[in-house]
A = this chain, B = another copy of it.
Amino acid sequence: MATMPAVLVGANVGGRPNYMTVAWAGVACMNPPMIAIAINKARQTEKGIMENETFSVNIPSSEFSVETDYCGLVSGSKVDKSEVFETFYGQLKTAPLISEFPVNIECQMRHTLELGSHNLHVGEVVDVHVDEDCLTKGVPDTRKIDPMVYSNSEYCRIGEMVSKAFSVGRDYKK
């Protein structure tokens, strides 16, 4: 895929928060709201998700590209990543959330597909935390969140608008 989100998946491993950078994440269902994430079976995050059946998806703003990349480079099996960020917990007491990031999503694991190198975990969204200053009229605003796209081994910002969705298609004529 040419465009993927750069997010950090959080899971408690042995009672300590661990964060791992993931580009293979997306929406799985609207109602109930669910998110799917693909995790390499060898990762500590995999251990934590299976241990607690909860995980978090944390969206970094672009100012955190160094920390984001660091959490993808080093494994929780070798390095304690619990101090990279300030952690808080929400409704789920075992899904660690990153204070510094503008968006934090708490997920209760519902399904796991063992696909090969990776397990695909589908979690139901239990709560979403968005920084007040990233809302416009009460709705999360991408320009304020300033998230990153992962592509071709680069973290990139969202670029110029090409067109309005659910709108420009009305102009289509064969």
Whether B72 contacts A165 by the Cβ 8 Å rule is yes
Which residue on chain B has the smallest CB distance to residue A174?
A: B83
Whether B65 contacts A162 by the Cβ 8 Å rule is yes
Tell me whether A166 and B4 are in contact in the complex, defined as CB-CB below 8 angstroms, given that A115-B29, A172-B67 are known contacts: no
Question: What is the interface size of chain A, counting residues whose CB is below 8 A from a CB of the partner?
Answer: 80
A148 to B141 CA separation, bound complex (whole angstroms): 18
Q: Which of A12-20, A30-38, A92-100 contacts B (4 or more CB under 8 A)?
A: A30-38
Whether, in the assembled complex, A120 has its beta carbon less than 8 Å from a beta carbon of chain B, the answer is: yes
What is the total number of copies of this protein in its complex? 2
A80 to B116 CA separation, bound complex (whole angstroms): 38
Tell me whether A151 and B158 are in contact in the complex, defined as CB-CB below 8 angstroms, given that A1-B35, A117-B29 are known contacts: yes
Tell me whether A157 and B149 are in contact in the complex, defined as CB-CB below 8 angstroms, given that A38-B28, A117-B31 are known contacts: no
Whether B154 contacts A157 by the Cβ 8 Å rule is no
- 12 A-B residue pairs with Cβ-Cβ distance under 8 Å, sorted by A, are A1-B7, A2-B147, A26-B36, A29-B38, A30-B40, A66-B169, A67-B172, A70-B169, A113-B113, A142-B154, A153-B164, A154-B165
Interface residues of A (CB under 8 A from B): 1-7, 23-32, 34-36, 38, 40, 57, 59, 62, 65-74, 83-84, 103, 110-111, 113, 115-118, 120, 122, 139-143, 145, 147-172, 174
